[in-house]
A and B are shown apart, each in its own frame.
Chain A
Amino acid sequence: MTTLYWEEEIETLPRVGLESIQLTRLKHLVARVYATVAPYRAKMDAAGVRPADIRSLADLQKLPFTVKDDLRDNYPFGLFTVPMDQVVRVHASSGTTGKPTVVGYTKKDIETWAGVMARALTCAGATSRDMIHNAYGYGLFTGGLGAHYGAERLGATVIPVSGGNTKRQITIMQDFGSSVLLATPSYALNLADAMAELGVDPKSLSLRVGVFGAEPWSANMRDEVERKLNIKAVDIYGLSEVMGPGVAMQCLETDRGMHIFEDHFLPEIIDPDTGEVLPPGEQGELVFTTLTKEAFPLIRYRTKDISRLIHEKCACGRTMVRMEKITGRTDDMLIIRGVNVFPSQVEHVLMGVEGVEPHYQIVVNREGNMDTMAVRVEVSEAIFSDEVKNLEKLTRKIQADIKDLLGVTCKVQLVEPRTIQRSEGKAQRVIDNRKM
Chain B
Amino acid sequence: MHVEQIAVFLENKSGRLAEITATLAYHGINIRALSVADTADFGILRLIVDDVESAKKVLKAAGFTIGITNVIAVEVADRSGGLAQVLMTIEKARLNVEYMYAFVNKSREDAVLIFRFDDMERAIAALQQDGFTILSGEQVCAL
Contacts and interface: CB of A to CB of B under 8 A. Distances in A.
B10 to A, nearest CB: 7
Q: How large is the interface on A (under 10, 10 to 19, 20 to 34, 35 or more residues)?
A: 10 to 19
A380 B5 CA distance: 18
Contact of B9 (A384, A392, A395, A418): A384
B69 A380 contact: no
Interface string B44-83: 1010000000000000000111110100000000000000
A391 B37 CA distance: 12
B39 A388 contact: yes
A386 B64 CA distance: 13
Given A415-B11, A416-B9, A419-B11, A384 B39 contact: no
B64 A416 contact: yes
B95 to A, nearest CB: 16
A281 interface: no
A392 B63 CA distance: 22
A417 B64 contact: yes
Interface string A409-436: 0000111111100000000000000000
Interface string A352-381: 000000000000000000000000001111
B121 to A, nearest CB: 18
B67 A384 contact: yes
A197 interface: no
A389 to B, nearest CB: 8
B63 A416 contact: yes
A384 B44 CA distance: 10
A385 interface: yes
A387 B43 CA distance: 10
Interface residues of B, number: 21
B65 A386 contact: no
Q: Tell me what chain A mostly uses at the interface: helix, strand, loop, or mixed.
A: loop
B130 interface: no
A372 to B, nearest CB: 15
Given A391-B44, A417-B64, A384 B7 contact: yes
Interface string B110-139: 000000100000000000000000000000
A269 B44 CA distance: 47
Given A415-B11, A417-B64, A386 B5 contact: yes
B7 A414 contact: no
A414 B63 contact: no
A380 B41 CA distance: 17
A381 B65 contact: yes
Nearest to B9: A379
Contacts of B65: 378-381, 384, 416-417
Given A381-B65, A392-B39, A416-B65, A387 B9 contact: no
Given A380-B65, A386-B46, 17 more contacts: A381-B65, A381-B66, A381-B67, A385-B7, A386-B69, A386-B116, A387-B99, A392-B39, A414-B41, A416-B9, A416-B10, A416-B11, A416-B16, A416-B65, A417-B65, A418-B63, A419-B11
Closest 8 CB pairs of A and B: A386-B7, A379-B9, A386-B69, A379-B65, A384-B67, A384-B65, A416-B11, A388-B37
8 contacts: A379-B42, A379-B65, A380-B65, A384-B65, A385-B7, A413-B41, A416-B63, A417-B63
